[in-house]
């Protein structure tokens, strides 16, 4: 077998591992197997040179030809598996729950490899659970991912430094009536059917939560960070990816219910601005439940664009401005007569004339939109139809602005 020389950049002290590789090949030759390919050797050399630490973790070097026999996809996977096994060995006897920062929980584990707090099979019916949790919060320790489903935590008083961290906690069906949860971080928590009646959730983080059928009546919700997405949004994304339209529809119906409840709660509490926001989100979800190419859905989208379902006066102003500008452009290219004749486009205009005439057109458009009609300029031909439509749209737009603005102010 002819062996090519190894590339000169290999330092002598690194030859040991190269020898290992050669021995491996000889071993294969002895057993009548194909020698390690040059491609594999090159790849190995690259890893060896630039990622020495990761190669060190590799207990055995597996040639590419044998990867299929060992049922591993590639050397990277096998190395990862090895590292995982090593970590698991080190962690024997400790909780296997991995937090968002990729660190493991430091509590002692039971037979399920999870600690008391992270094991969903351990019932939290001990009367001291509330006391333990309060002590935990006082020490400022994280409650991330705690499984507290169906726990009776009425009147729980969590007083952590800068708010308690309870991200991804499972609190479904938990009773938290009148609980003091000021500044708590419940990002990604499961609050399905949780009872949070009269709870103090001021300054809490509730983004990414599942709030389906959760009771929030009379709860204090000042300065709550709701985020732009709830748990249902993630599930919709997953179901969409998996191609399950029925499931998507079902989750959207759930989301609509969540928004409706939040709107009602905020209205009861006098937080009308938030109530308006949730009302808008509810309408958007309702629109997405309509058939894709239907008049109903198109109209709904148009109403959203123009006025944000009469919740956003700024959208009325912006859409009015857009209409005024578009009509001005139309007037520029059609026939509108001013005191000095035609005010639109004529060939051979200088830049200053362009600006002046476009300004005249915008002026005419504003006068038409607001139905002022001074009469100093008159449309002709097709411009008449555009002006009539714009005047009608203007009257409609202004009354819409009044309604939207008044609705927001007088709530």
Give contact residues for Zn ion (rule: CB under 5 A). 95, 97, 105, 107, 115, 118
- Shortest Cβ 279–Zn ion spacing (Å): 40
Smallest distance, Zn ion to C-beta of residue 148, A: 13
Shortest spacing between CB 116 and Zn ion, in angstroms: 8
Q: Which is nearer to Zn ion, 107 or 257 (CB)?
A: 107
Nearer to Zn ion, 109 or 343 (CB): 109
What Cα–Cα distance (Å) separates residue 185 from each residue in 34, 154, 189?
Answer: 58, 18, 9
User: In angstroms, what is the minimal distance from the CB of 114 to Zn ion?
Assistant: 6
Closest CB to Zn ion among residues 115, 236:
115
Q: Which residues pair with 205 in a beta bridge?
A: 185, 225
Instruction: For the CB of residue 109, give the shortest distance to Zn ion in the complex, in Å.
Output: 7
Cβ proximity to Zn ion, 97 vs 331, nearer residue: 97
Half-sphere exposure of 43 (CA within 13 A, CB side): 12
Using CA atoms, how far apart are residues 162 and 140, in angstroms rounded to an integer?
9
In order of 121, 326, 387, the CA distances from 369 in angstroms are 67, 12, 8
What's the longest Cα–Cα distance across the chain? 103
Nearer to Zn ion, 141 or 411 (CB): 141
* H or E, element range at 257: helix 245-269
Q: Encoding tokens for residue 380?
A: 């002709």
Residue with tokens 């960070």: 225
| Min dist. Cβ of residue 207 to Zn ion (A) | 24
Considering the complex, state which of residue 145 and residue 397 has its C-beta at the smaller distance from Zn ion.
Answer: 145
Determine how β-strand 335-338 pairs with β-strand 378-380: antiparallel
Q: Select 97 or 332, whichever has its Cβ closest to Zn ion.
A: 97
d(CA 169, CA 159): 17
Shortest CB 97 distance to Zn ion, Å: 4
Supply the minimum distance, in Å, between the C-beta of residue 95 and Zn ion. 3
The stretches of 121-170 forming alpha helices (DSSP H) are 129-138
The edge-to-edge listing of strands for the beta sheet with 335-338 is 341-342, 335-338, 378-380
Task: State both tokens at 337.
Answer: 């007569």
Nearer residue to Zn ion within complex by CB, 107 or 267 = 107
Shortest Cβ distance from residue 107 to Zn ion (Å)? 4
342: which residues sit within 8 A by CB, 6+ positions away?
A: 335, 336
**Residue whose CB is less far from Zn ion, 25 or 165:** 165
By the 10 Å C-beta count (0-12 exposed, 13-18 middle, 19+ buried), 377 is classed as buried
267 CB contacts (<8 Å, ≥6 apart)?
A: 275
Residues 6+ apart with CB under 8 A from 135: none
């Amino acid at each position: 077998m002819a062996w090519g020389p190894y590339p000169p950049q290999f330092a002598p002290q690194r030859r040991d591992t190269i020898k290992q590789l050669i021995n491996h090949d000889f071993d294969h030759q002895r057993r009548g197997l194909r020698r390690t390919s040059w491609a594999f050797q090159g790849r190995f050399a690259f890893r060896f040179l630039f990622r020495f630490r990761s190669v060190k973790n590799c207990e055995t070097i597996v040639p590419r030809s044998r990867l299929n026999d060992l049922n591993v996809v590639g050397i990277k996977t096998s190395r990862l598996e090895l590292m995982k096994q090593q970590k698991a060995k080190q962690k024997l006897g400790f909780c296997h729950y991995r937090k968002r920062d990729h660190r493991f929980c430091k509590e002692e584990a039971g037979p399920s490899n999870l600690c008391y707090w992270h094991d969903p099979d351990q019932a939290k019916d001990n009367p001291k659970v509330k006391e333990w949790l309060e002590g935990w919060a006082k020490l400022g320790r994280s409650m991330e991912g705690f499984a507290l489903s169906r726990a009776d935590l009425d009147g729980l008083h969590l007083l952590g430094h800068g708010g308690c961290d309870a991200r991804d906690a499972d609190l479904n069906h938990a009773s938290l009536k009148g609980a003091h949860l000021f500044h708590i971080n419940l990002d990604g928590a499961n609050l399905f059917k949780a009872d949070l009646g009269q709870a103090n959730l001021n300054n809490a983080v509730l983004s990414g939560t599942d709030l389906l059928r959760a009771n929030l009546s009379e709860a204090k919700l000042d300065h709550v960070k709701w985020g732009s997405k709830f748990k249902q949004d993630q599930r919709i994304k997953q179901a969409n990816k998996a191609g399950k339209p029925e499931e998507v529809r079902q989750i959207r119906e759930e989301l609509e219910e969540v928004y409706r409840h939040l709107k009602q709660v905020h209205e009861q509490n006098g937080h009308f601005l938030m109530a308006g926001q949730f009302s808008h989100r509810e309408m958007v979800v309702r629109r997405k439940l309509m058939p894709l190419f239907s008049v109903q859905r198109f109209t709904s989208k148009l109403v959203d664009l123009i006025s944000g379902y009469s919740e956003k006066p700024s959208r009325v102003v912006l859409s009015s401005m857009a209409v005024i500008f578009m009509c001005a452009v139309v007037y520029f290219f059609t026939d509108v007569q001013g005191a000095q004749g035609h005010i639109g486009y004529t060939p051979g205009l200088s830049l200053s004339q362009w600006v002046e005439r476009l300004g005249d057109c915008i002026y005419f458009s504003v006068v038409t939109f607001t139905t002022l009609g001074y009469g100093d300029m008159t449309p002709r031909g097709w411009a008449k139809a555009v002006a009539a439509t714009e005047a009608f749209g203007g009257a409609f737009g202004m009354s819409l602005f009044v309604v939207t603005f008044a609705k927001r102010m007088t709530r």
